[in-house]
Chain A
Amino acid sequence: MVSLRAEGLQKSFSGTVALNGIDLEVKEGEYVVILGPTGAGKTTLLRTIAGLARQDAGHIYFDNQPVDTLMPFQRGVAYLPQNYSLFGHLTVWENVAFGPTVQDWNPHRRDQIVREMLNLVHLSDRRDAHPRELSGGMQQRVALARALATQARILLLDEPLRALDARLRVELRQELRTLAKYLGITTLHVTHDQEEAVSVADRIVVIRRGKVVQAGSPREVYEDPSSPFVSNFIGEANFLEGILSRVDNNFSIIVLKDGRRLMGRPTSVPADSHVVLGVKTDFCEVQPGKSDAQNRIPGTVVRSLFAGKRKTLEIQTNIGLLKAKVPSDRSLSEGDEATLTFEPENGVVYSIPSEGLRVALEVE
């Protein structure tokens, strides 16, 4: 087990910046998820840590020892690439035994560890199969066993569940976490799927355009997002633009352009500045009928999207289209008059992003 630290990592490919000064700290045995939209630099970050790409600037430390000059085979990192890269000409057993074999372990110890790893991923009975004969989930488990068999100190998972279908994905992500925790291996798991991130991580590091935008426990990044982007990327949020008219220790008051006053959390943004109030759709409630009381925005239901236990209601108000996720048994349907409401503690105040709200939310 080993801790991992990255400082100011920079990397660009012929003009395109992939990593733009990434700082990262992972404690021994911690399960950290790197979450970001496609093209945020997640894969490059993993490849840099594995030694497959060399950073332009910055340093990487394992247990406070710099590893910048080490070749991949000297780093002791288990890297699981997106498409698994199983060796097609080798059997399951030979795939898993690959690391120990090229590292010249004694055959007895090698066979023992391969057997253990195959047991661990429940594939002992398929040891003589070739990868192409296995299902997607099995292939993923072979790749995992192969990575773990090297007794690596750090496990790097690059979108490990991407190629699997939805149901299997949910099943396997818990298995992954259980296994990593059981072996106590320090894990860095990259994904663009916020639901996956929230459900397996000890800590989430959100990156965007090659930069860390927020790091914290799943709960922290969900409930206390540091920017409109994070707020909208993990879950979904309504954004209400206005002027911050008053702040004190208990709440802040925002005046919208139609003169409506809304209450949100206290904030460090100075009063009278142009702000945006972010409210997660999960934390919005909808009441039938029109009401203009405090923190209430009246409108008309224009769409109702059923999703099992909860449904999403889209409400057209005079300040724009707002969404709320409510229990499905709410008897509101398209065309009904309704009022959207939220608790002041769920409204987070951000100063308006300099590049404009639309650009700040872009998932590219």
Chain B
Amino acid sequence: MSESRELALENRQSKSPRRRKTFLDRVSRTRFVQGWYAVVLSFFVFFVLVPTLFVLSFLFTGWGDLQAFVFRNANVMAQILSAIGLSFSVALTVTAVDLIFGLPLAWFIVRRQFPGKSVLNTLVDSPLAVPTAGLGFSAALFWALNPAVKPQGLSLNFTNTPFVLIMLLHFTTTFPYMVRSMSAILEQIDIEYEIAARTLGASPLTASRTVTLPLFRSGIATGSILCLAKALSDTGGVQAALQTANLFAIQANSCSFTGTPSGTVLIGAWRTLGKACPAVTSQLNAGLAFVAILMIALSIGLLYAVKFVALKVRFPLKHVWPGIERKLSRGTAPRGRDLASFAFLVLMILIPSFFLVSFLITGTKTLGSPDWGMFGSSLGFSFLVAGLATLIDLMFGVPLALYITRGPSRRFGSLLDSLVNIPYIVPSAALGFSLFLFWKPLVDAGALPILAVIVLAHVGFTIPFVVRNTVGALEEMDPGLDETSRTLGARPLQAFRRITLPVIKPAILAGSIMAFTRSVGETGATLAVSPQAITAPVFIVNLLNVKTGNFYLAGLSVGILTLVSAGAMMSMRYFTRRAR
């Protein structure tokens, strides 16, 4: 013991000589940190936020064109209004239905212990692995009346109404988001409240309805917003479904299209026609700008409306009908409820999502003369774009999240926090077109490759994944860890690298894999920036064409893309689980 004391005293007295200034000292200086934050903030504002909303300026700069080509052209106006109406009515219906069937399922997953829970979780998530263009193809094969190719009698031949078909498709693309976000938040709500209510005499239904549900508003808000955004944004899925069902086709030689597209598909179609028919480009651009403006304004408005309704409006939840609710809590009612949501999962989500498999097995295997070179290069192009976008997301998204949670001003942080959601809620095709207009001068001058604009568009709708995940992890992290490390002698950068980073790494990883898979599956934004850029989903959508297409090759391509995304999701699970 005395030896140790001597050592301790000696160590304390022998003051270590002043260390020379290292790189770490320099970059830990306040001025450097502030400079870095300034770079990150200006990137977000000038490369993400302003370009996303830039199309709104068309209202001033292109008013004449809008009047000439849109407002005075009843035909164009009608097309626009029907497309937007279709997009929003489908999105709202889908969200409502998802809520009704998703809530019992999320409840079941979180509150029950049963064998095969992880299998159920995987099943719910599984449609996320299929690129939306593939889901559109697959769902249309299953539901559509007289699809372009018949998978020999197994399909339902159910509908050829665009509204119904798109709605059925969007169940598959949105339901996993709804269940996932609701179960994530439900998991954080302490079951003790419900137990307390039950011991006070409430029936299970009364307890969950009056105690847990009010605590659960943020879960409903998040789930609904994700759902709406996903449904409004989808281009590839809708286009693939409509084309497969013979409900939509682009006729480049006559500079027109047939059928009823949704808002985002209309953007993609007009962009494609604009390239093919230079004579009408400025007319089309005016129409495009108007669609984009309407979609951006309406979706941002919808975001705040949903937030308001879900978080602020008082629902008449407090009144209790003990007798009825007790009856409903027992016997067939709850069993029927669970059964209905499971049936919904299987019939409306799983089978339509993977119906493509039956087509691949039993369909006519005519590959014709497949353009494998094109397929390879489109896949490579997709990965290049997704990789670059994810890299940029990481470089700027993580510091942005740090600024939001630990920056100098709380109020500014939470403002930024809500601004980050804007590129996410804006339909990606509208975002792509807006970016195209913003960067057009530089691209035309040859100063900026179109690839850069495509990557920036993908950064726009994927960076929220990285920021949101990182902010979530940082908010949960004990701030004492970072502070203690700094009193132990760590400079701010050391504290970040050695303490904060290891703690938030799983969340960053999860966010970037979500960003990557979302980017790989994206169609609309790519098409809206440049109709000639052939990423894998664009390649697939182009193949789904009755006259010139090759459905079997499209199916195979979907399969390959699905395997890649599934691999990415598996590795995400593996890494996040290992980190725990």
- The interface residues of chain A lying within 8 Å CB-to-CB of B335 are none
List, in ascending order, chain B residues with CB within 8 A of A81's CB.
Answer: 480, 483-484
Chain B contacts of A72 at CB under 8 A?
483, 486-487
Contact A79 B490 (CB under 8 A): no
**Best-buried of A1, A47, A83, A89 by chain B (most CB within 10 Å):** A89
Give the CA-CA distance A47 to B479 in the complex, in Å. Answer: 13
User: Which residues of A from 60 to 97 have beta carbons under 8 Å from B?
Assistant: 71-73, 75-79, 81-83, 85, 87-89
Whether A87 lies near B486 (C-beta < 8 A) is no
Can you pick out 21 interface pairs between chain A and chain B where the beta carbons lie within 8 Å of each other?
A47-B483, A52-B486, A71-B491, A71-B492, A72-B483, A72-B487, A73-B487, A73-B490, A77-B487, A78-B488, A81-B484, A85-B481, A87-B485, A98-B485, A98-B490, A99-B488, A102-B485, A103-B16, A116-B4, A116-B8, A184-B9
Shortest Cβ distance from B505 into chain A, in angstroms?
Answer: 9
A294 and B16 CA atoms in complex are apart in Å by 68
Min Cβ gap B475→A in Å is 16
Which B positions have Cβ atoms within 8 angstroms of A? 4-5, 7-9, 11-12, 16, 19, 478, 480-481, 483-492, 494, 498-499, 502-503
By a CB distance below 8 angstroms, the chain B residues around A78 are 487-488
Apart from the given pairs A98-B488, A113-B8, 9 other A-B contacts in the complex at a CB distance below 8 Å: A79-B483, A81-B480, A83-B480, A88-B503, A98-B490, A98-B498, A103-B489, A105-B16, A183-B9
Indicate if A146 sits at the interface (CB-CB under 8 A).
yes
Q: How many Å lie between the Cα of A271 and that of B338 in the bound state?
A: 81
B4 touches A85 (CB 8 A): no
Find out whether the CB atom of B483 lies under 8 angstroms from the CB atom of A73.
no
Label chain B's interface by main secondary structure: helix
Asked if A218 is at the interface of the complex by the 8 Å CB criterion, the answer is no
Distance, CA A71 to CA B29, complexed state (A)? 10
Q: Which residue of B lies closest to A89 (CB)?
A: B502
Q: Bound state CA distance, A353 and B478, in angstroms?
A: 41
Flag whether A112 is at the interface (Cβ < 8 A). Answer: yes
Q: Which A residues are in CB contact (< 8 Å) with B480?
A: 81-83, 85
CB–CB A112/B7 < 8 A = yes
State the CA gap A314–B503 with chains docked (Å): 54
CB contact under 8 A between A183 and B503, given known A72-B487, A73-B486, A73-B490: no
Q: Which residues of chain A are near B503, meaning CB under 8 Å?
A: 88-89
Binding site for B on A (CB under 8 A): 1, 47, 50-52, 71-73, 75-79, 81-83, 85, 87-89, 98-99, 102-105, 109, 112-113, 116, 119-120, 146-147, 150-151, 153, 182-184
Q: Are B487 and A104 in contact (CB under 8 A)?
A: no
A108 CA to B248 CA, complexed, in Å: 74
CA distance A83 to B8 in the complex (A): 26
A51 touches B487 (CB 8 A): yes
Distance A52 CA – B485 CA, assembled complex (angstroms): 11
* B502/A85 in contact, CB under 8 A: no
Contacts of A85 in B (CB 8 A): 478, 480-481, 483-484
Nearest opposing residue in chain B for A80, CB measure? B484
Q: Which 4 A-B pairs have the closest CB atoms?
A: A85-B480, A99-B488, A79-B487, A72-B486
- Which of B4, B492, B502 counts the most A-chain CB atoms under 10 A from its CB? B4
Shortest Cβ distance from residue B577 to the other chain A in the assembled complex, whole angstroms: 15
Asked whether A102 lies within 8 Å of B490 as measured between CB atoms, the reply is: yes
Closest to A88 in B: B503
The contact of B488 among A1, A109, A146, by CB within 8 Å, is: A146
Nearest-Cβ distance from residue A104 to partner chain B, whole angstroms = 7
- Which residue of chain B lies nearest to A98 when distances are taken between CB atoms in the complex? B488
Q: Which among A47, A87, A153 is the interface contact of B499 at CB below 8 angstroms?
A: A87
Which A residues touch B12, using CB under 8 A? 1, 151, 153
Distance from B478 Cβ to chain A, minimum over Cβ atoms (Å) = 6
- Could you tell me the distance between the alpha carbons of A102 and B22 in the complex, rounded to whole angstroms? 12
B499 contacts across to A, CB distance below 8 A: 87
Given contacts A83-B480, A87-B499, contact A150 B489 (CB under 8 A): yes
Q: Report the Cα distance A347→B4, complex, angstroms.
A: 49
With A102-B494, A151-B12 as given contacts, are A71 and B7 in contact (CB-CB < 8 Å)?
no
Selected contact of B481 from candidates A1, A87, A183, CB within 8 Å: A87
Cβ-defined contact, A147 with B488, below 8 A = yes
**Complex Cα–Cα for A105 and B478 (A):** 27
CA distance A78 to B485 in the complex (A): 10
Check B19–A104 contact: CB distance below 8 A: yes
Q: How far is the CB of A202 from chain B (nearest CB, A)?
A: 20
A102 x B487 contact (CB < 8 A) = no
B483 touching A102, Cβ below 8 Å: no
Write the chain B residue with the least CB distance to A143: B484
- Contact: B483 with A52, CB < 8 Å? yes
Which residues of the partner chain A approach B490 to less than 8 Å between Cβ atoms? 73, 98, 102
- Distance, CA A147 to CA B502, complexed state (A): 21
B19 to A, closest residue via Cβ:
A104
Q: Which residues of A contact B8 (CB under 8 A)?
A: 113, 116, 151, 183
B502: chain A residues within 8 A (beta carbon):
89
Tell me how far the C-beta of A167 lies from the nearest C-beta in chain B, rounded to whole angstroms: 25
| Alpha-carbon distance between A79 and B483 when the two chains are bound, in angstroms | 9
**Complex Cα spacing A343 to B387, Å:** 84
Asked if residues A71 and B488 are in contact (CB atoms below 8 Å), the reply is no
B20 → A minimal CB distance (Å): 11
Given the interface pairs A87-B499, A89-B502, A120-B4, the reply to whether A50 lies near B11 with Cβ below 8 Å is: no
Known contacts A81-B483, A85-B483, A120-B4: A102-B11 contact under CB 8 Å: no
For the complex, what is the distance from the CA of A79 to the CA of B503, rounded to whole Å? 21
Complex CA gap A73/B484 in Å reads 10
How many angstroms between the C-alpha atoms of A76 and B16 in the bound complex? Answer: 12
What's the least CB distance linking A354 to chain B, in Å? 37
User: What is the CA–CA distance of A182 and B2 in the complex, to the nearest angstrom?
Assistant: 10
Contacts of A116 in B (CB 8 A): 4, 7-8
B9 proximity list for chain A (CB < 8 A): 183-184
Least CB separation from A185: chain B residue: B12
Residues on B with beta carbons closer than 8 Å to the beta carbon of A109: 11
Residues on B with beta carbons closer than 8 Å to the beta carbon of A119: 4
